[in-house]
Amino acid sequence: MESMKAKQMAAMMTLMSAAGDAQKATMAAIDAAKADQIERSRKLLKHADAKLKQAHQAQTQMLTYEARDQKVDVTLLMVHSQDHLMSAMTIRRLADEIIDLYQQVHAQK
C-alpha cells in the first residue's frame, strides 16, 4: 500500500506538472493570437483548461487529505506547486482579454 507521504508527493508533482503545461499552452495561445492565428489560439486555450482541471483535481486531492485529518506536510515543494497553479490560473484569466485585443487589432488592419 502506498504511503501517505508518497500519495502527497504524487499529487504535488501532478499539480506542478499540469499547471506548468497549462501555463505553457496559455502563453502559446497568446503567441498564436499575436500572429493572427485565432483558431489555433482558442484550441490551445482548451488544452490549457484541461490541464488546469487536472491540476485542480490534484490540489483537491491534497485538500481532501487534510480535511480527513491526514497529516499534510507543508514543504517548499508544496508551496512551489501551489505557486505554479496560481500563476497558471492568473495568466489563463488574462489570456482571454489579451487574445480578444489581438483579434481586434488584426481586424483593423
Domains of the chain: 26-107 (1.20.58.80)
User: pLDDT tens for residues 21-50?
Assistant: 999 999 999 999 999 999 999 999 999 999
80 flagged as catalytic: yes
At residue 69, the pLDDT reads 85
* Predicted structure pTM score: 0.90
Query: Annotated binding residue at 83?
Result: yes
Provide the CB-side half-sphere exposure for 78 (13 A, CA): 13
At residue 27, the pLDDT reads 98
Q: Which residues of the chain have pLDDT under 50?
A: none
